[in-house]
Chain A
Amino acid sequence: AQTIHQWPVAEIKAVGSPLSLGCTIKGKSSPNLYWYWQATGGTLQQLFYSITVGQVESVVQLNLSASRPKDDQFILSTEKLLLSHSGFYLCAWSRDSDYTFGSGTRLLVI
């Protein structure tokens, strides 16, 4: 069975500090991977997607970056957090199927 794991579960970070969020998919080879951002009670905003290792496409510019160092790993990061980065970050995968979302990372920037 495929599993998707996001880490950390939650973070409280200071404005201007760096951030790294991770996502790992097990049990599926060459999945399409996605990062989404969701404000509290808000819509799902796609941030990045990746079809293969080393390739990442940006959908919106939010002073964030993403990387796919391994087939099963997707990283979201920034060197300087903004207050507006607070929210719920979701990783998702798909491959000839529907999207499967991870359990998310809750980020609060103070």
Chain B
Amino acid sequence: QQQVRQSPQSLTVWEGETAILNCSYEDSTFNYFPWYQQFPGEGPALLISIRSVSDKKEDGRFTIFFNKREKKLSLHITDSQPGDSATYFCAASEGNYKPTFGKGTSLVVHP
């Protein structure tokens, strides 16, 4: 049972464009949603996170939009840079305990 779904599986954008990565979940008890960024050959690293009491979280060029009613969230990367090319994992948990990860979105930013 896949509780966290991500789309698209892969995404290609041009430098300067906004990349939009989508995530949805099923378990209504989930209240914490971190996004992790993983470069090839490295472990994932926390990029940005949001709690269900908020509908938006911004950190520089990265913004999470959260819709609790629809159980959906999205990560927007504005002014995309080639260095943003990586795999992005959406995760969901009740608190910080044992998050459930999505299958990831592979992002490629062309210069």
List residues of chain A with CB under 8 Å of any chain B CB.
Answer: 32, 34, 41-44, 46, 49, 90, 92, 94, 96-104, 106
Contact = CB atoms under 8 A, between A and B. Distances in A.
A44 B89 contact: yes
A103 B42 CA distance: 5
A92 to B, nearest CB: 8
Interface residues of B, number: 21
Interface of B: 34, 36, 41-46, 49, 87, 89, 91, 96-99, 101-104, 106
Interface centre among B41, B42, B43, B97 (most CB of A within 10 A): B43
Interface of B (DSSP majority class): strand
B97 A43 contact: no
A101 B44 contact: yes
Given A90-B43, A102-B43, A97 B96 contact: yes
Contacts of B104: 42-44
Contacts of B49: 98
A93 to B, nearest CB: 11
22 contacts: A34-B98, A41-B87, A41-B106, A42-B103, A43-B101, A43-B102, A44-B44, A46-B98, A90-B43, A90-B44, A92-B43, A94-B97, A96-B96, A99-B34, A99-B91, A101-B43, A101-B45, A102-B43, A104-B41, A104-B42, A104-B43, A106-B41
